[in-house]
Structure 1
């Protein structure tokens, strides 16, 4: 897939620069033509000679030194015309800001500004830097410019902290590069729910759950990247470029939106954690505690079964439900598959490490009627989403 492709690999000045060496090796193994371009800061971490040896091409480090005696063009223009895909790994906060704001004061930024080819950016930095609103705003700008941004991993960082900001591992980097040369093929209307519903007790308090929405977000992003038209109904405030977001809070609000949109949908993914019960009566004012009462009783009533109700109206739609369990995983998931008109149930034991709420990984067992359950290994939620859409594409 990558044979003879022209990959411009931009290396900027972060500690993860040494990991870009493995990216070069991975690309060369696939017979890719790799041109490495380095910032001055990147050269403080890894020498250009190392990259030149692996890539079998001289490294470009400035705008004023021709690579060969026969160069007819200014280096950044010649490079821009040569490039099939521009990859920035690692991408520091500095280069992200430059790209987002059209700045060009070195060989890397000028070349990226001149390049019309697709761009793929791998942010890698300290957690606090990555979370800074300025950096996040710049990343959103990149996505609005149709520049693909691959979220960093969570793990042990160079300065001893543990958090988000770590460069993804080589297989994920290579997969992201390969995906840029894959023609999108999921030409469907996809409707996805994500997050935990919130049922009001009074104007201040609500009944909720620990769902973060991460699994639904991953499903939505991968579907979008495969060419689908994606609508995401979520209780979590978010803004994902290329995806229509509908914000809801309660199960009733989610049900209303689903009933409106489901008839024109090809695939429904019910990844949201919907509250089974809600308070029978909602107080108009905040419930105050009193000295003479040590307990509070709230009478609950059932919420509608959204998956069962909506899926019962399906015609040609493909319906996927989730079963988040803490015990008897297969028995409960099988019961859900048979009673809720779903085509597939994705079951996970949220009591197991790495497979619960508010984590970036999941372990799924896929169930479909008249077939043996298929258990997938623990993997990132993005990889779970990719594996699911591969499964779906094989079925259609």
Structure 2
């Protein structure tokens, strides 16, 4: 085999039908992933062994396999998990690989720099962005029209305060005082709380990832409207949504508005009892900013791979426009490559599906910290936010305690 030397390994040519292993998790993108593997096999003379695992098992299995030297050559990564894998030495520095690969260089040059930079760690390119996410406010159009409210007319300037006022207006109770229609769904989750934090000018961690910033009084003030809506009955309670999820309640016509990721659109397309539509997320009147959280998924090369040539060849094929387009055309994910996204939004499930497409102009990658695994952070965050939303603690107290819990984990992992 001949090629270019990179970190002591040869890159640039692949023997016929060289085997390369690629791991991902099984989701609605399974069809596209299998089609991509077939595309790579046909165009790079590779034998691609694609292994799909459930998401829960994937994040348990992957680091153990890499450490044992039995991991895949290439594996899929979510943005919030990236720092911890890069810091642990489980991601290859791709800087020289990219220099010696015109195809990868051309691909990265064609992307939004925000997406490229989000897979850099300590100044090194250690991942290749593959797909992105976005979010919007989805609403029951039938309810909204009956109330004489035109969200599209105020979309360019509406704020979270406007949303709260409309949600209160749309909350309906019967003669017994029981809520029959909720104005807005407030979950103990990242959406829309992260959006509110970022548009208010705050962040979750500092640039080093060593310091959690959730105890800032300004964040508690920014998130207080969520608590106000929840505690006043504008939103169904957590107990209620344990029995019937927020999505189920929205789809049955019991919730007027819900913050939703674009991955929910195929689910909502099954609604038959009413018309629904979407508008862009509210803007912060003080900062003038809109952000939507985005789990930018990427490709990582295992630094322990013994098949670097094949791994690079696979990656080169997966980023090709024809390969990226498979995500859009199957409506399973939004390609990072803008030129092939059109197929994803070529749908008639809602009049203004472009609200999601417009949100791609202000995506905020879900950047956290190398010192705490995303799954652990998510559980702590949900538990802490829940206490503030429900009124078990004041929002300020809940976020202070949450910050302390996260900081304890960060300090422990830094010491270890």
TM bucket (normalised to shorter chain) is under 0.3
More strand per residue: 1
Q: Which has the larger radius of gyration?
A: 1
Q: With structure 1 as the length reference, what TM-score do the two structures score?
A: 0.23
More helix per residue: 2
